Chain A
Amino acid sequence: MNPYIVLGLLLMAVLAVGAWQQKKKARLYEISWGHQLRKTLTSRSFLLQMGGFVAFVVIWELTVKVFSLPWFNRLPGPWECLLEWLSPDPAYGISIYTEDYYTHIIYSTYRATTAFVLATLLGVPMGLLMGWSRKFYDYSFPLVELIRPIPPLAWVPLAILILPGDEPAVIFVTFLVAFFVTALNTLLGVESIDESFFRAARCLGADKRRLLFDVVLPGAMPFIFTGLQISMGAAWFSLVAGEMIAAQYGLGFLIWDSYSLIQYPVIVIGMATLGVIGWISSAAVRSVGRKLMAWRERELYGS
């Protein structure tokens, strides 16, 4: 398939999603679809958003290709990269039609997800415990604060020594960053809970279990989810760094490998892919959070 056709299909998909959302909005405000569409397309915020994208791509193309500025002239241009990405017969062997591309994505996603899930399963209880028990806080907080600032990459050699093979080492390094972010945000969440929420529970006779599950956990939930979004981002950045050092597959490896092999457009393809995946993963965390915290959404009463 011709890359231009793919590009066309992608654009159409984006437009279809946009149109569908405008339709939903039009129904909400009870105005016609055309009216709503016009309103959005001419709104300041939409124009600025589009302006930002266009300016970025134009400046990129100008500096790299048109004026070919020193330092920039070795970089690939946006158009070149896009065509390579969508090409059925890519010059450097990586595009949406090649199996290798998906192998790298699957490896990275698998590692990031494993690390993120582990970090959440261990980090949330750790944070709750630290916020819940003064004793545990005193015991663990100074240690955490001392270990946390160690950059994830500094762990790579030890991780390789301790754990069997490169794979667990990369996951461990990714996990570590996400874990600290999650634990500390959960702790902050518990500390942010208004004292009167505890007082009310105590005078209503709550036992420890009810206090934990009905007051502490839901009260800390907004901070926990902020933490999870940050931890998702942190997981991706340390994963890519880890993959560059110690991995045979994955997007980080792909980017570094392409640099060594002077396949510059592939670097951009890898980076753009990371951008898209990162965006999707944090949107996913956000939407789960919104579902779990329906109580934060205001609506007109009586409805």
Chain B
Amino acid sequence: MANNGNKNQQNQQKGELILENVNRVFRMPGAPACHALKNCSFTVPRGSLTVLVGPSGCGKSTLANIAAGYDHADSGKVLLDGKPVTGPGRDRIMVFQETALWPWMTVMKNATFGPTMLGGMNKSEAEDRAIALLDKVGLKDFRDKYPAQLSGGMQRRAELCRALVMSPKVMILDEPFRGLDVMTRELMQEYLLTLYRETGLTMLFITSEIEEALFLGDQILVMTNLPGTIKTTVEVDLPRPRDFSVLGTERYRQIKSEVMESLYEEGAKIFAKLDGAGDLLGSCRAGS
């Protein structure tokens, strides 16, 4: 097994994700064609935590699905380390909006599912790895519990572990903390930063909250409203490791206003559209 160049070998190599002129149009009967993504281009640099911010319904999830390989681009390129993305794969792990832990498996079974796939690690090796990660997020004692027995925050942490244990080249997090209360959410952000610092993985984090974006990100991509495209890229040069004291700094406020300015321009457009052309967003989301 060792000598045949195990293709699923866990490697620590950090990936670089590039999207070039990605377009995606949804067509639904009885509704105008919806241009969800238009000439979307950006780069998630190796080992960076890039945050994608945009008004809700602007095509962020469509973008995430395309990057993860669940959906396809109508035109344009999605490249991971220069190779085109053709479908879901172990090198790009996605963390979903709603918890997608399998409720019929214990936390440990969930976390070792990926690593023990065909050609992967043996069970004890995978369990050691999983325990190390679970320990970091305070779930070591809950490894034999089922997801339904955990609180919402614990479920999200377990899901982060399930993704991180794969050491993917890129981790895609699609509004992973949505629906959590403020306290839990802040706690989760700190956990994520700890995990990011310790693993140094490339991460694409999608959110609709500016504070979250600023607190977590190295760079923020601001997305326009439909048709979705990247409007501006803002570098966040706040020092790491970050804690909540950065929220009080002058630099934080500067960057925040910069992001807000371009974001609110977009937010205003939604209302104009809603007034005029009917529920364009609604028809588009039904198609996504």
Residues of A within 8 A of B (CB): 194, 196-197, 199-207, 210, 214-215, 218-219, 221, 293-302
Q: A25 to B240, alpha carbons, bound, how many Å?
A: 55
Contacts of B162 in A (CB 8 A): 200, 204
Contacts of A207 in B (CB 8 A): 117-118
Q: Which listed residue (A202, A210, A293) contacts B104, Cβ 8 A?
A: A293
* B184 at the binding interface (Cβ < 8 Å): no
- Find the A residue at minimum CB distance from B142: A301
Across the A-B interface, how many residue pairs have beta carbons closer than 8 Å? 84
Q: Are B148 and A203 in contact (CB under 8 A)?
A: no
Contacts of A194 in B (CB 8 A): 98, 100
What distance in Å separates the Cβ of A145 from its nearest Cβ neighbour in chain B?
Answer: 25
Contacts of B113 in A (CB 8 A): 201, 204, 206, 210, 214
Q: Which listed residue (B96, B117, B145, B146) contacts A200, Cβ 8 A?
A: B96
In the complex where A206-B117, A301-B142, A301-B145 touch, is A295 in contact with B104 (Cβ < 8 A)?
A: yes
* B32 at the binding interface (Cβ < 8 Å): no
Which of B89, B105, B145, B149 has the most chain A CB atoms inside 10 A of its CB? B149
What distance in Å separates the Cβ of A204 from its nearest Cβ neighbour in chain B?
Answer: 4
Chain B interface extent, by class: 20 to 34
Secondary structure of the A side of the interface?
helix
Which of A203, A205, A294, A300 has the most chain B CB atoms inside 10 A of its CB? A203
Q: Are A202 and B88 in contact (CB under 8 A)?
A: yes
* B140 at the binding interface (Cβ < 8 Å): no
Q: Are A204 and B90 in contact (CB under 8 A)?
A: yes
Contacts of B8 in A (CB 8 A): 205
* B114 at the binding interface (Cβ < 8 Å): yes
* B102 at the binding interface (Cβ < 8 Å): yes
In the complex where A218-B102, A301-B149, A301-B150 touch, is A204 in contact with B70 (Cβ < 8 A)?
A: no
What distance in Å separates the Cβ of A162 from its nearest Cβ neighbour in chain B?
Answer: 41
Q: A164 to B117, alpha carbons, bound, how many Å?
A: 49
Contacts of B195 in A (CB 8 A): none
Q: A285 to B1, alpha carbons, bound, how many Å?
A: 44
Q: Are A296 and B103 in contact (CB under 8 A)?
A: yes
Q: A199 to B70, alpha carbons, bound, how many Å?
A: 8
